[in-house]
């Protein structure tokens, strides 16, 4: 499989290896620490193990989300999740006006509206982890105004291409999109006021690394505004290794308590804003999947 230059997200099921922690070839980074080389990736809370390798999992997800852009439709086995369109977007917190006005930027991939969680202010620099076709970035750009800026990072080139076209189409010149991996962000340290992410960190192969990177790029006093999928029960081994499930927001999800522990170990102070226990019904059309959508703010103090 092709080697990825990835992005904003994907699949959290296994800890990242020390050999892949540091990438000194990315000249966009500044003063980045290599956490894993110092042994700090050995957290108490671990992502669930799987037989499929991290790279194989990322390739599977990248292919699935590329097809969402190029062929349309959904990445989900039941057709509803991570590609549910305008109705799902309204169900999880977007207004009808936002969806209609920025229709080409909405792929129905989320599990909440993270833009409204973080009290984004004018003049801020905002980073979107897993920016997709750009919807959340464009909504954030309206909040920061011409004095601010928004950066979107995504691991899928097709998503980056679509988001850039949408930025030009809708006239958002304060938004930029970069191909990259949320576990290895192409962003300078201590440069971001607010990070937002919508149903993406649940896909990361190493949530430990994703949270460590988020902490690195945030300014002191900065925050993450996140809506993400967490497990309320366990998935079977077969489910975790099912390629279709891997490509959704569920295959890499971990238990809520483990997720919150990883945030704490990364240095964040967390305030939970809410939890949508009916997200399975909204995204899958049934309540068979043991997940909820957790909405929270994580502060770097």
Q: What is the model's pLDDT at position 266?
A: 98
Asked if the structure places residue 31 within a domain, the reply is no
Q: Is residue 95 part of a domain?
A: yes
Q: Report the distance separating Cα 228 and Cα 70, nearest Å.
A: 25
Burial of 176 (0-12, 13-18, 19+ CB in 10 A): middle
Most confident of 34-38, 47-51, 117-121, 136-140: 136-140
Residues in the chain: 301
- Judge whether 39 lies within some domain: no
Spatial separation of the C-alpha atoms in residues 142 and 298, rounded to whole Å? 22
Which pLDDT value is given to residue 147? 97
Q: Is residue 27 part of a domain?
A: no
Q: Closest Cα to residue 129, out of 36, 208, 41, 228?
A: 228
Give pLDDT tens digits for 107-142.
877 788 899 998 999 999 999 999 999 999 999 999
223: three-class secondary structure by DSSP:
strand
Q: What is the CATH number of the domain that holds 282?
A: 3.40.50.150
Number of domains in the chain: 1
* Domain-located, residue 3: no
Per 3-state DSSP, what percentage of the chain is helix, strand, and coil (rounded to 5)?
Answer: 35, 20, 45
Residue 270 lies in a domain: yes
50 or 297, higher pLDDT: 297
Among the listed residues 138, 9, 32, the one whose alpha carbon sits nearest the alpha carbon of residue 82: 9
In a domain, residue 36? The reply is no
Q: Are strands 218-231 and 291-299 parallel, antiparallel or unpaired?
A: antiparallel
Domain range enclosing 176: 46-299
């Amino acid at each position: 499989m092709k080697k990825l230059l990835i992005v904003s997200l994907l699949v959290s099921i296994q800890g990242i290896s020390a050999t892949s922690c540091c990438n000194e070839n990315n000249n966009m980074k500044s003063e980045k620490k290599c956490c894993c080389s110092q042994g700090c990736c050995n957290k108490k809370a671990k992502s669930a193990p799987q037989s499929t390798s991290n790279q194989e999992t990322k390739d599977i997800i990248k292919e699935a989300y590329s097809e969402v852009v190029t062929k349309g439709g959904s990445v989900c086995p039941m057709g509803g999740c991570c590609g549910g369109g305008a109705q799902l977007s309204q169900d999880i917190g977007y207004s009808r006006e936002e969806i209609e006005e920025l229709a080409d930027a909405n792929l129905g991939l989320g599990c909440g509206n993270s833009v409204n969680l973080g009290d984004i202010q004018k003049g801020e620099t905002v980073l979107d982890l897993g920016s997709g076709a750009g919807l959340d970035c464009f909504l954030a750009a309206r909040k920061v105004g011409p004095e601010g800026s928004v950066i979107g990072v995504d691991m899928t080139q097709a998503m980056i291409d679509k988001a850039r076209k949408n930025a030009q189409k809708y006239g958002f010149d304060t938004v930029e999109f970069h191909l990259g991996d949320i576990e290895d962000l192409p962003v300078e340290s201590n440069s971001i006021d607010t990070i937002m992410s919508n149903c993406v960190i649940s896909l990361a192969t190493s949530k430990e690394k994703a949270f460590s990177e988020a902490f690195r790029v945030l300014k002191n006093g900065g925050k993450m505004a996140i809506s993400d999928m967490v497990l309320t029960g366990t998935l079977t081994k077969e489910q975790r290794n099912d390629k279709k499930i891997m490509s959704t927001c569920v295959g890499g999800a971990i238990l809520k308590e483990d997720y919150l522990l990883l945030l704490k170990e990364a240095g964040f102070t967390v305030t939970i804003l809410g939890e949508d226990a009916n997200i399975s019904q909204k995204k899958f059309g049934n309540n068979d999947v043991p997940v909820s959508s957790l909405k929270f703010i994580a502060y770097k103090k």
